[in-house]
Amino acid sequence: MASHRKPRSRIPAPLTGHSRRTAVGFTTAALASVTLLSQSANAAPADPKPAAQSIEKVKEKVDTLYHQAETATQRYNAAKERTEQQRGKVDKLLDSVAQRTEKLNEARRTLGTYAAAQYRDGGMARSAATLLFSNDPQDVFDQSHLMDRMTGRQKQAVDDFQTQRTKAAKERGKAAESLASLTASQKQLKVQKKTVQDKLTEARRLLANLTAKEKARLAAIEKKKAEEARRKAAALAEKQRQETAARKKQQEQNGDSGSGSTAPSAPADSSKAAQAIAFAKAQLGKPYVWGATGPSSFDCSGLTQAAWKSAGISLPRTTWDQVKAGTRVSTSQLQPGDLVFFYDDISHVGLYIGDGMMIHAPKPGDVVKKAPITEMPIYGSVRPS
């Protein structure tokens, strides 16, 4: 007889020691693999660039910010100069308006005296003063009628009043226009000041975030750049000496024949150039401050302006105007005292002192010092006169 008992389910045998170790080992390996994959994924975004490239990038940004700040400084200098000129013009106009107003009031008092007399003596229905002081075109006929009844002195008083009133109105209009122009210049001055401050703040922030090691690397890059500029300046100075000697020899060979070519540029006034250089040397070590013209600090164009002022020659305030104040000369024909301008936007200037060197006020955080003219791209040069 068949059994109706259900077959019992097979229960897996417990893991033996060997099997248990095999399972644990597999699990540990799997976990280790997941951990390694996780670490690899987290490490993937790391910046592979070396520190040297990062420092050079920072230097490039800082140099750009300083250049932009110097360009904005020249705009600030121009706006400040316009503001000062406009303020002087407004002050003069306001003084003139005050004087003209006093003359107008005097004419009004004189005319009032005559008008009152006319009213008393003539019994006019309307006051003469009301007619004469009116701007209403409808009163012109009545004014003309009243003028016919006046004496010569009274007519002169009326003419004087009307003249003074017209002039006062014109001068008030000029003063209003000048005040509006002054307000616009002051706004532009404020904008350029903020631009300079923002650029310098960003440059200082970038430098402040560098570690001591990164700052040392940056200093090394700057030193290498300065050495290269000095080598180029020495080569330029040697080329200048050779060209000068060649020109002198050519002049000697030409003798008195008069067949020699004329000099391409006027010679510098050595005494005045020497005075300008002496002034600049006396400023060595003084801090660069944007917008400053001395005596305790300077920006680049403030220094060159002050240097030539000491020699009796007045230069404009900005680099953009100084580059027009004199005779243009080539780099190969530079003489001590010449002004050397830099960058395509003519945002920097230095005073040439010979041998490929200049004295200039470089940038914020630096001081007035000697430097090779080859450390920046040269735009052109000018000999003040």
Asked whether the beta carbons of 240 and 332 are under 8 A apart, the reply is yes
Please name which of 317, 315, 318, 322 lies closest in space to residue 340, comparing C-alpha atoms.
Answer: 322
Measured CA distances, 372 to 69, 168, 251 (Å):
22, 58, 30
Specify the amino acid at residue 168: A
Whether the Cβ atoms of residue 370 and residue 246 lie closer than 8 Å to each other: no
Q: Is 4 a catalytic residue?
A: no
Tokens of 196: 């300079």
> Which secondary-structure segment (H or E) carries 36?
helix 17-43
Count CB atoms within 10 A of the CB of residue 84: 14
Q: What are phi and psi of 81, to 5 degrees?
A: -65, -45
Whether 360 is a known active-site residue: answer yes
Distance CA 67, CA 208 (A): 19
Please provide residue 13's backbone torsions phi and psi, each rounded to the nearest 5 degrees: -70, 145
Instruction: Tally the C-alpha atoms within 13 A of residue 282's C-alpha that lie toward its C-beta.
Output: 13
Q: Which helix (H) or strand (E) segment is 281 a member of?
A: helix 270-282
Give the type of residue at 316: P
d(CA 118, CA 132): 12
H or E element at residue 381: strand 378-383
Is residue 89 exposed (0-12), middle (13-18) or buried (19+ Cβ within 10 Å)?
Answer: middle
Q: Can you read off the two tokens belonging to residue 113?
A: 């005296």
List residues with catalytic annotation: 300, 348, 360
